[in-house]
Structure 1
Amino acid sequence: MSDLLFFTEVTLAGLGAGALLSLTALAFVLIYKATRVINLAVGEIVMLGAYLFFAFAAGLGLPAWVAIVLSIAGGGLVGAILERGLIRPMLGENPISVFMVTIGIGSVVVGLVELLWGTEPRALPAFLGNQPIFLGEAYVSRKIAIAFLVSAVVIAGFVLLFRFWRGGVALRATASDQAAAYSCGINVPGVFSVAWIIGCATAAGAGILLGSIGGISPAMGVFGLSALVVVIVGGLDSIAGALIGGLLIGVFEAWAGTYLGGEYKIVTTFGILIAMLMIRPYGLFGTTEIERL
């Protein structure tokens, strides 16, 4: 019974981490669906969101809820600036060129964070509480449980918005056929901007949750690589794939890290990636027309 209880607790922790992966993967999916750009700077936007919260909450002493709103808005503003200033002029160019621009953006963001806040790890102000949560006899970290619930609500909200909101319909139409969307009167460049704003704001929110669990450092952008694995496993253009892929990767990482050792988490993650690329290269729910870079 004790072994089963321990296994249940590890699995629940993995589901919580997987929910954060899903939320971060959603930022990849939103931007890719609208612009067909794989934004490798998502991990660094996650990190930036956490540092913005640190600046507002610890540096300026603002209430946590105000700092959260400002940090998410700051992530959205960064997304708008990047899309309008760097990505839109590159549309139509070789995809590799755009891909490399996003890598460069990530490096610049890391450099700015290190310049402003240094390279030492920091802890975010406690705002989620530390009281444990029990599901039956199984212990779940309060922070991980809250992160799971928030991620689930946000993803469910996006699913509903894309189905019923006019902007969501416009985004899906643009993703399907940009020329046809233009002919129907859809403001395609505006859709691009909205996708980047919402995607980067979502990544910034994920960074706040991630930083509240494990602290913040300029290296936390590597979390984006695991999220990239999630979207490749689930499908680059699938919100459902981001959700299911994130939960699967989170659980497998938790199992590998607990029973094999922490160094096997990354091995497991990228082992799943290689297997998926060989068996189903367009992901569990992705469309077959997707081209991998």
Structure 2
Amino acid sequence: MYFLFYFLLSGVYLGALYSMIALGIVIIYKSTKVFNFAQGHLLMVAVLLGATLSQTFGIIIGMVLTVAATALIALLLERLTLRPLIGQPLIAALLMTIALGYLIEGGSLMVWGEGLYRYPELFPTEPFSIGSIAIEQGVVWAFVVVAVGFAVFVLFYQKAVLGKAMRATAEDHQVSQSMGIRVTHIFSISWVIAAVLAFVASIFLGSFSGGHYLNSHLGLKAIPAVLVGGLDSIRGAIVGGFIVGLLESLVTGYMSGELGEVVPFIVLLIVLMIKPYGLFGLVRIERI
């Protein structure tokens, strides 16, 4: 029973990470219809920047500088590489995000090398206790952050003028422009939001696991979370993230690490064969 609870806690932690990465992917997709394969790489660079700047300038200043730097990197990537592709086939933008991911990974390897970088102690070391079971406070906070983030983004897209503009932009760029929406402005905002989500995820990753240039593979693991939940669904990103995280942790703990790496993609194949749009994705019917 103890091991089951431990594996579940580990799954919640992984699920929170995958959910935040998946949220970033969904936010950009809902605004631009571009699947951002570089989201995991934004997380990687946020972890490395955060660990370095926090050690140099202290936690508070380091965090502020990290979120600003990550947002600036995302803005530059969108402005210099993706904006010129507006009007081109979506496959061009998709391939560009893959290339950007390799660029960020290679640049991070050149700057930071292969070392492991950790954040300073951000969470109290004393765990919460439920009977004889101890729960690390960081795991609890990760779950709380994801829950609050879900509520905020749902309200944002349903109630906020900017959220509605982002939804309209995703539906049709030309119609949105004719209604006075600055489409390029919406694109930039969506990338900044994704960068902030990457920064938030980096806090938990840097505090528990540490930052490494190979952290970019977490973005690949978040792909099943996005597609299982539904590519255009905020709720789906959260649910898919926790499904993937819990499955990976349980299969790794009770069976093998190799199978744990593969099982999310097996679940993805099964779900997409039954529900091609994911658990919460919108079924689109287009008149020909």
Q: Structure 1 length as normaliser, TM-score?
A: 0.92
Shift of 1:223: 0.4
**Partners of 1:9 and 1:196 in 2: CA distance:** 35
Deviation at 1:289, TM superposition (A): 3.4
1:102-141 Cα shifts (integer Å, max 9, x gaps) = 1111111111111111112233222223222223443222
Is the 8 Å Cα contact of residues 20 and 201 (structure 2) preserved in structure 1?
yes
Q: Match of 2:14? A: 17
Distance 1:182 1:90, change over 3 A: same
Task: Give the counterpart of 1:135 among 126, 130, 139.
Answer: 130
Structure 2 runs not aligned, ≥5 long: none
The CA deviation at 1:246 is: 0.9
* Correspondence for 1:236 among 222, 231, 241: 231
Q: Is the 8 Å Cα contact of residues 18 and 248 (structure 1) preserved in structure 2? A: yes
SS of residue in 1 equivalent to 2:232: coil
Q: Specify the alignment match of 2:251 in structure 1.
A: 256
For 1:88-237, what aligned pairs fall within 5 Å after superposition? 88-237=83-232
Q: Contact 2:121 / 2:207 at 8 angstroms: preserved in 1?
A: yes
Residue 50 of structure 1 contacts residue 207 of structure 1 at CA under 8 Å; is this kept in 2?
yes
SS at match of 2:231: coil
1:132, 1:141 within 8 Å by CA — same for their partners in 2? yes
Matching of residue 7 in structure 1 with residue 1 in structure 2? no
Q: Tell me, what secondary structure is at the counterpart of 2:257?
A: coil
> How many positions carry a matched residue from both structures?
285
Distance 1:218 1:275 in 2: 31
Residue 28 (1) aligns with residue 64 (2): no
Match of 1:82 among 63, 73, 77: 77
The counterpart of 1:275, out of the listed 264, 270, 273, is: 270
Kindly indicate whether the alpha-carbon contact (under 8 Å) linking 1:44 and 1:221 is maintained by their aligned counterparts in 2. yes
State the one-letter code of the partner of 1:45: L
**What is the percentage of aligned positions where both structures have the same residue?**
36
In structure 2, the residue matched to 1:56 is 53
Distance in 2 (CA, whole Å) between partners of 1:42 and 1:18 is: 16
Matches of 2:274 and 2:105 in 1, distance apart?
A: 35
The offset of 1:41, in angstroms, is 0.6
Instruction: Kindly report the root-mean-square deviation, in angstroms, between the aligned alpha carbons of the 2 structures.
Output: 1.7
SS in 2 for 1:128: coil
Kindly indicate whether residue 55 of structure 2 is the aligned counterpart of residue 38 of structure 1: no
Give me the whole-angstrom Cα distance separating, in 2, the residues matched to 1:52 and 1:152: 26
Q: SS at the partner of 1:285?
A: coil
Quick check: 1:285 aligned with 2:275? no
1:282 and 1:266 mapped to 2: Cα distance? 23
Closer, same or farther in 2 for the Cα pair 1:68/1:78, shift >3 Å?
Answer: same
1: CA distance, partners of 2:65 / 2:200: 10
Q: For the residues of structure 1 that align with 2:83 and 2:261, how far apart are their CA atoms? A: 34
Q: Which moved more, 1:82-91 or 1:123-132?
A: 123-132
**SS at 1:263 equivalent:** helix
Cα distance in 1, alignment partners of residues 186 and 217 from structure 2? 28
| Dislocated runs of 4+, deviation >4 Å | none
Query: Could you tell me the TM-score, scaled by structure 2's length?
Result: 0.93
